[in-house]
Amino acid sequence: MAGVTTGVCLAPPAISASEEGFEVFGIVDASGSPTALTDEMAFRRMERAGVELTTASALISELAVNWASEDGAKLMQILVEEIMGAGH
């Protein structure tokens, strides 16, 4: 899951889904907050609730079971674009 803001748009639904028994991954670099402290507090709340915090590139890597497959190649392209975009 991701949201526009970490503390308001990501944390509450991620915590709720986790409490309902879903395995939830909070994509921390796809959400943001006005301050680092706001992010940190949201991260702590989510972790206490059982939300697995990760990054977009880490999640993409987990989805690519076989980098040599057609799907793996597509995910590699997304990952490369993400990395290249991060430098701009």
Q: Are 5 and 33 in contact (CB under 8 A)?
A: yes
Count CB atoms within 10 A of the CB of residue 3: 19
Query: Looking at the annotation, which residues are catalytic?
Result: 9
**Predicted local distance difference test score (pLDDT) of residue 10:** 97
Mean pLDDT value of segment 32-47: 95
Does the pLDDT at position 56 exceed 60?
yes
| Phi, psi for 32 (deg, rounded to 5) | -155, 170
Q: Are 55 and 28 in contact (CB under 8 A)?
A: yes
**Cα(34)–Cα(67) distance, integer angstroms:** 36
pLDDT confidence bin for 84, thresholds 50/70/90: confident
Q: Specify the DSSP class assigned to residue 53.
A: E
| pTM of the full structure | 0.77
pLDDT confidence bin for 62, thresholds 50/70/90: confident
**Predicted local distance difference test score (pLDDT) of residue 26:** 97
